[in-house]
């Protein structure tokens, strides 16, 4: 009998331990240190030294040399970049495929930005820098933009990258990508020769410079993907998964989307002598503690995490380099989202009562130990268009109670809150706190948990009665036209994708957003976005909590971490390992 007991104990313990740590054993190889192609002495100036020929109101080419080149010129002390090595990156994000042109999401963007090259890089000042396009011109009326492609660039199968591929890629993105605002004003694309792409716009479109940059513009092979698949069904094309042929610095060689993604150096990449790395391996590690243990033991070279406790730990660890925000320009907004299609939540007084009850300062200063930024307006605080001069709904429990009374819920109210599975401190913990806080004003809140993203999304897209409120994170994706506008305009009330899932609709807001999208003057554009944020902060389709950082950590020997606006969601052709 005792034996049986111990056997059971063992089984139970083993099972629990297994499922916990199975995450950690995705891959354990950082073997191939073969420093191949040792022609690192050349340190040839890549395409980026010739400043792009920009004109007047286009985001001007910056005069400071791209950061990537700095190591070549910053004195004898700086170590020379070396070829070779494998970079093992631990990530919690799983994507449905590896092509960010047909779908959005960090899990897709990470490998996609390596496999597919874009027209431009965005530097840390949000200025475009040459990448696949070596130069460009913008017409005086900002309506015609001409890109000149690098000569001799090839796809991973050796076929040349031509203007036809760029045109095709933009069409695929337009037809499939959820960020419809990116290419909204595009009227037509001309390809006068193999290396020239001319974009004709209906209205000036400042967000275009985001749309052609790094992760947003994977240039896809027309000769492979234009095989009779209808353009709006490219999501299902086999070139988005195993065996994908891309245009970027790394080839996809192994793809197990919930386990690991292996990328290998593409020998004939169009920037000579790049990339430095032989291999990038993304290991999917769902558990943050496993990521931390792997970073501390040196199993992973780089990793991301969201817990503020872990952030503190990393900054105290001399063997690791802390990266303040791994997602760069993605700009994640953490907020309480209301389902305004629901009969209870459609009442503004109920939403206001909830807003008056939640103590945002408590969340940020106590639960997040002051490591996150408060979010008041609907745009990411790092954006120049952020407006913090809006209704704050400071805590006022009496007002909340009277609002509920007026709304007919004086006797109390039963609501459900769920949360997008992700960093616990940002989502679950805040949801649990909100449930406790609302208890004070007579709203009984049941916290619902979802086992994984698909089951949460099933509820989220489930219609008026499927959910009341959810702790959700929307990504800003650089420009408000891309990441913000989609969540507010009436035309975007449709299920199945991350658009206007609050079912919020205000014609005035629509007007402001559409006007701002086409406004080339930055000051006027800011005024329009300011007003938009004032209105939406009052009407509460979302109640902003905080800007969500994804902290990162690198081993000391990881050099030249991309510092552009997209951070690691870029080609990574300049990263190298100093070991």
Partner 1 sequence: MTDLGIAIDSSTEAGGRGAFRMFLRNKAAVAGLVVFTFIVLVTIFGPAIYGQEAHKMAAGPFLGPGDDAGPLLGTDYLGRDILAGVITGGRTTLFVAAVAGSMAMGLGLVVGSLAGYFGGWIDALLMRFTEIFQAMPSLLFSLVLIYLMGPGTWKETLAIGLTLWALPARLTRAEFLRVREMEFVKASRAIGSNDLRIMTRTILPNAMPPLLVAATLLVVIAILFHAGLAFLGMVDINTISWGSIMGKNRNYTLTAWWTVAFPGIAIVITGLSIALIGDGLQDAFNPKLRGR
**DSSP 8-state assignment for residue 134:** E
In angstroms, give the least distance from the CB of 393 to partner 1. Answer: 21
**Quick one: angle between helices 428-439 and 348-357, nearest 10?**
100
- By the rule CB under 8 A, 459 interacts with partner 1: no
The Cα–Cα gap between 97 and 74 comes to 39
Give me the least distance between CB of 310 and partner 1, in Å please: 7
State the minimum distance, in angstroms, from the CB of residue 552 to partner 1. Answer: 17
∠ CA 206-209-212, rounded to 5°: 140
> How far is 512 from 530, CA to CA, in rounded Å?
9
Question: Should residue 2 be labelled a site residue for partner 1 when binding is judged by CB under 8 A?
Answer: yes
Residue pair 576/276 in contact (Cβ under 8 Å)? The answer is: yes
* Encoded tokens for 73: 């010129």
The 10 Å CB-count burial string (b at 16+, else e) for 136-145 is bebeeebbeb
Under 8 Å between Cβ of 468 and 345: yes
Q: Does 397 bind partner 1 (CB under 8 A)?
A: no
Nearer to partner 1, 407 or 447 (CB): 447
Task: Please tell me whether residue 313 binds partner 1 under the rule CB under 8 A.
Answer: yes
What is the closest distance, in whole angstroms, from the C-beta atom of residue 97 to partner 1 in the complex?
Answer: 25
Nearer to partner 1, 62 or 424 (CB): 424
Instruction: Confirm or reject binding of residue 476 to partner 1 (CB under 8 A).
Output: no
> Regarding beta strands 302-305 and 413-419, do their DSSP bridges make them parallel or antiparallel, or are they unpaired?
unpaired
Q: Among residues 367, 441, 471, 553, which is the contact residue for partner 1, using CB under 8 A? A: 367
> Per CB under 8 A, which region of 197-205, 284-292, 347-355, 537-545 contacts partner 1?
284-292
Nearest approach, Cβ of 359 to partner 1 (angstroms)?
A: 11
Among 224, 241, 447, 535, binds partner 1 (CB under 8 A): 447
String marking each residue 327-366 x if it binds partner 1 according to CB under 8 A: ---------------------------------------x
**x-or-dash pattern for partner 1, window 5-34, by CB under 8 A?**
x--xx-xx--xx--xx--------------
What length does the chain have?
579
Q: Do residues 100 and 49 lie in contact, with contact meaning Cβ atoms separated by under 8 Å?
A: no
Query: Which CB, 10 or 508, lies closer to partner 1?
Result: 10
Give the integer Cα–Cα distance in Å for 106 and 94: 8
Q: Are 117 and 247 in contact (CB under 8 A)?
A: yes
Q: How far is the CB of 468 from partner 1 (least distance, A)?
A: 15
Q: Is the peptide bond before 275 cis (omega within 30 degrees of 0)?
A: yes
Distance CA 428, CA 448 (A): 10
Which lies closer to partner 1 via its Cβ, residue 192 or residue 362?
A: 362
Binding mask 157-196 for partner 1 (x = CB under 8 A): ----------------------------------------
In the complex, the smallest distance separating the C-beta of residue 294 from partner 1, rounded to whole angstroms, is: 12
- In the complex with partner 1, the residue whose CB is nearer, 210 or 363, is 363
Q: How far is it, in rounded angstroms, from Cα 513 to Cα 338?
A: 20
Find the shortest distance in angstroms from Cβ 413 to partner 1. 16
466 binds partner 1, rule: CB under 8 A:
no
Q: In whole angstroms, what is the distance from residue 172 CA to residue 219 CA?
A: 10
* CB of 246 or CB of 549, closer to partner 1: 549
Burial 162-194 (b: 16+ CB within 10 A, else e): bbebbbbbbbbbbbbbbbbbbbbbbeebebeee
Question: Interface with partner 1 includes 4 (CB under 8 A)?
Answer: yes
- For residues 132 and 242, the answer to whether their CB atoms sit within 8 Å is no
Please compute, for residue 56, the number of CA atoms within 13 A of its CA located in the half-sphere on the CB side.
Answer: 11
Is the Cβ of residue 10 or residue 494 nearer to partner 1 in the bound state? 10
- Under the binding rule (CB under 8 A), the answer on residue 322 touching partner 1 is no
For partner 1, give the closer residue by CB, 459 or 493: 459
Asked if residue 526 binds partner 1 (CB under 8 A), the reply is: no
Among 112, 129, 310, 501, binds partner 1 (CB under 8 A): 310
91 binds partner 1 (CB under 8 A): no
Q: Which stretch binds partner 1 (CB under 8 A): 4-12, 45-53, 116-124, 166-174?
A: 4-12
- Name the segment binding partner 1 (CB under 8 A); options: 97-105, 205-213, 309-317, 372-380: 309-317
Q: Measured from the CB of residue 546, what is the shortest distance to partner 1 in angstroms? A: 15
Between CA 560 and CA 552, with CA 87 as vertex, the angle to 5 degrees is 65
* Residue 562 burial class via C-beta count within 10 angstroms: exposed 0-12, middle 13-18, buried 19 and up: buried
Nearer to partner 1, 9 or 202 (CB): 9
CA distance 487 to 483: 7
Question: What is the distance between the alpha carbons of residues 454 and 290, in angstroms, rounded to a whole number?
Answer: 23
Binding track, positions 415-434, relative to partner 1; x by CB under 8 A: ---------xx--xx--xx-
DSSP type of residue 474: E
CB nearer to partner 1: pick between 305 and 504: 305
- Pick 469 or 565: Cβ nearer partner 1: 469
Q: Minimal distance in Å, beta carbon 456 to partner 1?
A: 13
502 binds partner 1 (CB under 8 A): no
Min. distance of Cβ 480 from partner 1 in angstroms? 33
Tokens of 340: 């305004």
Query: Vertex 288, ends 287 and 294: CA angle to 5°?
Result: 95
Strands in 332-338's sheet, in edge-to-edge order, are 373-374, 542-548, 332-338, 469-475, 413-419, 443-448
The nearest distance, CB 448 to partner 1, in angstroms, is 9
Instruction: Report how far apart, in Å, the C-alpha atoms of 385 and of each of 36, 182, 216, 523, 528 are.
Output: 46, 17, 20, 9, 9
| Three-class HEC string of 450-481 | CCCHHHHHHHHCCCCCCCCEEEEEEECCCCHH
CA–CA dist 436, 440 (Å, integer): 7
Interface residues toward partner 1, by CB under 8 A:
1-2, 4-5, 8-9, 11-12, 15-16, 19-20, 287-289, 292-293, 307, 309-310, 313, 366-367, 424-425, 428-429, 432-433, 436, 446-447, 449, 451
């Amino acid at each position: 009998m005792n034996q049986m007991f111990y056997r059971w104990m063992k089984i139970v313990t083993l099972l629990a331990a297994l499922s916990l740590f199975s995450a950690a054993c995705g891959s354990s190889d950082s073997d191939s240190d073969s420093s191949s192609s040792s022609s690192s002495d050349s340190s040839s100036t890549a395409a980026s030294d010739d400043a792009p020929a920009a004109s007047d109101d286009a985001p001007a080419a910056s005069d400071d040399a791209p950061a990537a080149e700095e190591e070549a010129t910053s004195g004898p002390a700086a170590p020379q970049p070396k070829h070779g090595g494998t970079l093992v990156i631990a990530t919690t994000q799983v994507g449905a495929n590896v092509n960010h042109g047909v779908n959005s999401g960090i899990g897709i963007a990470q490998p996609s930005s390596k496999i597919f090259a874009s027209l431009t890089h965005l530097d840390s000042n949000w200025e475009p820098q040459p990448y696949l396009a070596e130069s460009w011109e913008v017409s005086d009326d900002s309506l015609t933009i001409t890109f000149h492609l690098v000569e001799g660039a090839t796809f991973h199968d050796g076929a040349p990258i031509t203007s036809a591929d760029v045109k095709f890629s933009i069409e695929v993105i337009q037809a499939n990508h959820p960020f419809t605002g990116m290419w909204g004003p595009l009227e037509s694309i001309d390809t006068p020769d193999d290396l020239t792409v001319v974009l004709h716009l209906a209205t000036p479109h400042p967000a275009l410079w985001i749309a052609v940059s790094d992760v947003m513009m994977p240039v896809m092979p027309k000769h492979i993907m234009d095989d009779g698949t209808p353009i709006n069904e490219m999501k299902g094309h086999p070139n988005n998964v195993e065996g994908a042929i891309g245009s970027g610095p790394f080839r996809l060689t192994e793809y197990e989307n919930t386990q690991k993604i292996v990328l290998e150096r593409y020998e004939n990449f169009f920037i000579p002598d790049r990339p430095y790395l032989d291999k990038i391996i993304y290991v999917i590690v769902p558990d943050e503690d496993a990521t931390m243990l792997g970073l501390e033991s040196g199993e992973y070279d780089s990793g991301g995490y969201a817990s503020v406790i872990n952030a503190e730990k990393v900054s105290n660890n001399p063997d690791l380099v802390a990266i303040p925000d791994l997602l760069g320009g993605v700009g994640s907004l953490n907020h309480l989202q209301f389902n305004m299609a629901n009969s209870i939540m459609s009442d503004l007084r109920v939403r206001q009562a909830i807003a008056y009850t939640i103590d945002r300062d408590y969340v940020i200063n106590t639960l997040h130990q002051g490591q996150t930024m408060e979010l008041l307006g609907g745009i990411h605080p790092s954006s120049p268009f952020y407006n913090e001069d809006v209704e704050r709904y400071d805590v006022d429990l009496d007002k909340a109670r009277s609002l509920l009374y007026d709304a007919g819920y004086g006797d109390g109210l039963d609501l459900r809150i769920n949360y997008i599975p992700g960093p616990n401190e940002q989502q679950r913990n805040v949801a649990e706190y909100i449930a406790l806080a609302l208890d004070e004003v007579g709203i009984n809140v049941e916290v619902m948990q979802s086992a994984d993203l698909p089951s949460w999304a099933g509820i989220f897209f489930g219609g008026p009665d499927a959910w009341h409120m959810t702790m959700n994170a929307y990504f800003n994706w650089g420009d408000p036209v891309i990441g913000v506008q989609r969540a507010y305009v009436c035309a975007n009330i449709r299920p199945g994708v991350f658009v206007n899932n609050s079912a919020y609709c205000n014609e005035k807001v629509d007007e402001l957003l559409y006007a701002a999208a086409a406004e080339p003057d930055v000051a006027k554009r800011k005024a329009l976005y300011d007003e938009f944020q004032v209105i939406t902060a009052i009407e509460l389709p979302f109640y902003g909590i905080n800007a969500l950082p994804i902290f990162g950590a690198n081993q000391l020997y990881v050099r030249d971490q991309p510092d552009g606006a997209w951070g690691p969601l870029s080609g990574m052709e300049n990263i190298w390992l100093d070991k």
